[in-house]
Amino acid sequence: MNLEEALLSAEEGLKVFADKDETDYNGIRESVEGAFRHLQAAMFPSHVNQEGRSIAENLRLSADGLREAVTRLADGEKAERFTAMLISRLPEIRRVLWTDIIAAYQGDPAAKSPDEIILAYPAFTAISAYRTAHELYKVNVPLVPRIITEYAHRLTGIDIHPGASIGEYFFIDHGTGVVIGETSTIGRRVKIYQNVTIGAKSFDVYPDGSLVKGIKRHPDIGNNVVIYAGATILGGNTVIGDNCVIGGNVWLTHSVDPGRVVVNDR
């Protein structure tokens, strides 16, 4: 077989797979990522607004990008409703993000100002993406929430599933390698260091071997908890009580009473 014959053969073979796709996803990721950047610029126009656009311009651009993406994934009526919902929630998202910025400033002696948190800390990008995506996740917008949080994951190395529930004044210090699973709940004023995993212990399966989805798989973390670098906390029945300190490199698959300091797996 020469090259021309190989090209024709491959084209015919690949068309079989392409014909099965019901949606053209090309450009959706770029539209969503662009929309998120415009949302950031609208919420923090003095810090992450490189094009110098007005708040109104950034809001319009973000709305256009989100509506276009969701229209292709669902339909135009849902896209309009979902986009309007998110835009209406932006002042509240911005308010909560400021609590996260203050938590970082108060919790890190190396931070010289809140502006430094916004401009230089990867946690700001990851948490702002999460808080935006979480609003869309709560109303079952398809795919878009994951694109937003995975965009931040790619930039920062911090992986927060948009389904997680995270309270105000949340701080991730350093951040690289942090993983927070979909059904995790995290209370107020929680501080996490790098390489922390809040994950699933195991996956239930059906008799045919397929995974059981939609169940509680990840831990609950109380208020005022500190989790040091490298700690791994697993399981949907695992509860870390208020005011606990979890030491570095601890492996936990059981609950911890409030106020405890855990420095090993006992």
- The CATH number given to whatever domain includes residue 211 is 2.160.10.10
Same domain, 64 and 106: yes
Q: Which amino acid is at 116?
A: E
The pLDDT of residue 253: 95
**Do 186 and 172 touch, CB atoms closer than 8 A?**
no
Q: How many CB atoms lie within 10 A of CB 201?
A: 17
Domain end (from 129, 157, 185): 157
Number of H helices, E strands in the chain: 7, 14
What's the rounded mean pLDDT across residues 10-28? 87
Domain end (from 123, 157, 191): 157
**pLDDT tens track for 121-173:** 999 999 999 999 999 999 999 999 999 999 999 999 999 999 999 999 999 99
What's the rounded mean pLDDT across residues 186-208? 92
**Do 151 and 33 touch, CB atoms closer than 8 A?**
yes
Residue 86 CA to residue 136 CA, distance in Å, equals 7
Same domain, 57 and 137: yes
Structure tokens at 28: 């959706």
What's the rounded mean pLDDT across residues 60-68? 96
The pLDDT of residue 265: 53
Q: How many CB atoms lie within 10 A of CB 71?
A: 16
33 in a structural domain: yes
The total number of structural domains that make up the chain: 2
CA distances from 23 to 16, 166, 230 (A): 15, 33, 40
Structure tokens at 178: 């942090």
Same domain, 117 and 153: yes
Stated pTM of the model? 0.93
Same domain, 203 and 261: yes
What's the rounded mean pLDDT across residues 46-64? 95
2 in a structural domain: no
Note the residue count of the chain. Answer: 266
Identify the CA nearest to 166 among candidates 186, 181, 152, 146: 186
Backbone φ and ψ of 197, nearest 5°: -120, 125
Q: What is the span of the domain harbouring residue 60?
A: 25-157
**pLDDT tens track for 211-255:** 778 889 999 999 999 999 999 999 999 999 999 999 999 999 999
